[in-house]
Copies of this chain bind each other. A is one copy, B any other.
Amino acid sequence: MDLLQTYKKVRQHSEVLAAPLIPEDFSIQPAIFVSPPKWHLAHTTWFWEQFVLLPFSKNYKVYDEDFAYLFNSYYNNVGKRVLRPDRGNMTRPGVDAVMRYRAYVDNAMQQFLQTPITPEAAHVIAIGLNHEEQHQELFLYDIKYILGHQPTFPAYSNTAPFLKPGKKDTGFIALPEGIYEIGYTGDSFCFDNELGRHKVYLQDFEIADRLVTNREYLEFIHEGGYQDFNLWHDDGWHWKQDNDLKAPLYWHFIEEEWYEYDLNGLQYLDPDAPVKHVSFYEAAAYAAWKKMRLPTEAEWEAASGHFSWGSLWEWTNSAYLPYPGFNKAPGALGEYNGKFMVNTMVLRGASVATPENHSRSSYRNFFYPDMRWQYAGIRLAKDKI
C-alpha cells in the first residue's frame, strides 16, 4: 500500500473508533492517566501539523494557533502545554470543531503526500502513523475506563475487540543458556528504544506457551492471594492495601457471581479467557504464588518465536531501561521514549486492541507497575531446575 493509502487508512480508523460515542463522552477525564477521547483525535492531528506540515509542506497555514497549545501532550520542547490533569475540563473546542480540524489537516496531508517526499519527511511520517496507532489503542483503554466507571455500565460497541478462550493445557518451552541477540533487525519502522540490536547472555529458562486464564487467577483469589504479603512486592502490597483491591480492574462480584465490564457492557466472567487488566504487582504476585516468575524481556524476545502472542500485552520482570548505545533523538521527538526510562516496567507482545501490524517481537511497551487499564496479561516463566 502506498503512503497516501496508508495515511488515509490509519486516519480513518481513528474516526471509526470514535463513531459509537456521544459528544459528552469526548471531554471527560475520570483519572489522571486517562485522556479525554476528543483529545486523542485532536492531538494526533496536531502531531501531523506540527511535525510534518509545518516543517515540510510549503505554504501550509496553521489551522488555529490555540490548538497547538491545547493539544500538545508531553512535548515540553513545543510550547506551553495544557497540564494533563486539566485536559478533562476543556469542553471547547467541542468534538465537532475537532472533526473540522481533522478534515483540514487531512486535506493538507493528502495534498502533501502527492508531492515528492524526502527521506527525512518519510521518517517523521512513519513516526506519525505509528503514533496515531498508539493513540488508537489508548483511545480504547480510555473509553473503556470512562464507560466502565459509570453507574449504569453503558456498552461501547458489540463489535469491539474481545478475547477468545485459548488452549486449556499449558506447556513450557525450554531455552538453553547462552548468547542471544535482541533488538530490532530489519528495515521497516521501529521505535528508537528497540534499536541497537545487541548480545545478551541468558541462563537456562522455561517459558509458558499460553497466558494465565481467569479460572487460574480466580484460584489465586480464592486461596487468599490478595491477603498474603509474602507474595507481593512491598510497593505492590501498599498499593493493594491503599486501594483495597481484591480482583483485576473491571471485575465485579454481584450476588455471588463474577462479572467483568467489557466494551460490550457488563458480562459474566469467562473462566477460559486470559486474565486481563492486571497490574505488574498483581502479575508478579500471581507468579510468586505459582512459585514461578515473570520472564525478562530478553527471555521473552528470545523465545517469542515458539509461542503465539497478541491477545494481551505481557508483563515482564524487566525495568524499562535504555539498550546499550541508546541515543535520544534531538528536539521534541527525543521526548518520545527516553524520558520514561525509570520506574516503568516493560510489556511485550501486542493486544486485541493493538492496530494490525503495529507491533513486533522487538517492540518495547512500558507502563508504571500499578497501571492496569491497559490490556495486560500474564505469561509465566521459571528457572531450569
**A interface list, Cβ under 8 A from B:** 22-28, 30, 38, 66, 69-70, 74, 76-77, 82, 88-92, 94-96, 146-147, 149-152, 154, 179, 198-201, 203, 205, 229-230, 232-237, 280-281, 284, 293, 317-319, 321-322, 324-325, 334-335, 339-343, 345, 369, 383
Contacts and interface: CB of A to CB of B under 8 A. Distances in A.
A95 B230 contact: no
Interface centre among A30, A325, A343 (most CB of B within 10 A): A343
A10 B148 CA distance: 36
A361 B203 CA distance: 22
B317 A91 contact: no
Contacts of A345: 342
Given A89-B28, A150-B90, A234 B199 contact: no
Contacts of A70: 151-152
B92 A342 contact: no
Nearest to A178: B199
Number of copies: 4
A92 B322 contact: no
A95 to B, nearest CB: 7
Contacts of A322: 293, 317
Contact of A151 (B24, B66, B319, B340): B66
A126 to B, nearest CB: 23
Contacts of A341: 233
A229 B22 contact: no
12 contacts: A22-B23, A22-B91, A24-B94, A27-B27, A70-B152, A90-B150, A201-B201, A203-B324, A203-B325, A233-B342, A284-B342, A293-B322
Given A150-B92, A317-B321, A339 B201 contact: no
Contacts of A30: 89
Contacts of A198: 201, 203
A230 B74 CA distance: 12
A210 to B, nearest CB: 24
Interface centre among A90, A146, A293 (most CB of B within 10 A): A90
B151 A179 contact: no
Contacts of A201: 179, 198-201
